[in-house]
Amino acid sequence: MPLLLLDLDNTLVDRDASFRKAAAEFLAEHALPEADLDWLMRLDASGYTPRQDVARAMSERYDGSLPESAVHQLLDRGAAERVILPEATREALGTAVADGWVCAVVTNGRVAQQETKIRNTGLDRLVHGWVISEAVGHKKPAPEIFHAAAASVGAALDGAWMIGDAPHADIRGAQGIGARSVWVSGGRPWTETTYRPTHIAQDAAAAIAHVVTHVGTPVTTYDIRTDYWK
């Protein structure tokens, strides 16, 4: 049974669009300038800035005038409660499962947030399993989290594919376990020179479709001497 590993944030779900929505509502609710939305998005950095640092910067900018509970609600649940799974991605995943792929989500983040996203989007009923870095104590690109994902669905990593939007976490991570990968570019150019994905797709639906139609392609395009995919 071939294994398909999938990143969650900004791959299966548009996490940044969801956070933007939550942040815009937050600013309106607290009568703060709409123009601060871009500042907040930069500060958030796709969720990569530690939440306590975001909270501190917001407190400084607004002179501590915001209720702490409202800030925590925004940062802890804002994006998670608003994420949606695009219909095209849902259909592509359904096709992958119907074709016999074992699908597992591999995501860096906190259990409460990531499981909220997985359940609210119905991904819990679509995929066979998921692994969240907080729960396993390892973050992508560490091989351990990919091994944990494979184990969680009773599959082997041989012949596995990884789909994700983050060059280092997802694509470098896939290379580390000898898996093929599709980078979800969202139109961005690939800029890393020491490693590269097997394939580049605009979005998750196209990435999944690529993998499903290439099942059986031998893993012979990786040249260990040059550390490069050809």
Site residues (vs Mg ion, CB under 5 A): 7, 9-11, 165-166
Question: In 3D, which of 146, 159, 174, 175 has the Cα closest to residue 219?
Answer: 159
Tokens encoding 97 = 């499962």
Q: How far is the CB of 10 from Mg ion (least distance, A)?
A: 4
Measured from the CB atom, the residue of 22 and 162 that comes closer to Mg ion is 162
Q: How far is the CB of 28 from Mg ion (least distance, A)?
A: 27
Measured from the CB atom, the residue of 10 and 89 that comes closer to Mg ion is 10
Tokens encoding 121 = 């989007």
Q: How far is the CB of 133 from Mg ion (least distance, A)?
A: 12
Measured from the CB atom, the residue of 163 and 177 that comes closer to Mg ion is 163
Q: How far is the CB of 9 from Mg ion (least distance, A)?
A: 4
The amino acid present at 8, given as its one-letter code, is L
DSSP 139-157: -TTSHHHHHHHHHHTT--S
Contact 142, 183 (CB under 8 A): no
Measured from the CB atom, the residue of 114 and 198 that comes closer to Mg ion is 114
CB-neighbour burial class of residue 17 (10 A; exposed 0-12, middle 13-18, buried 19+) = middle
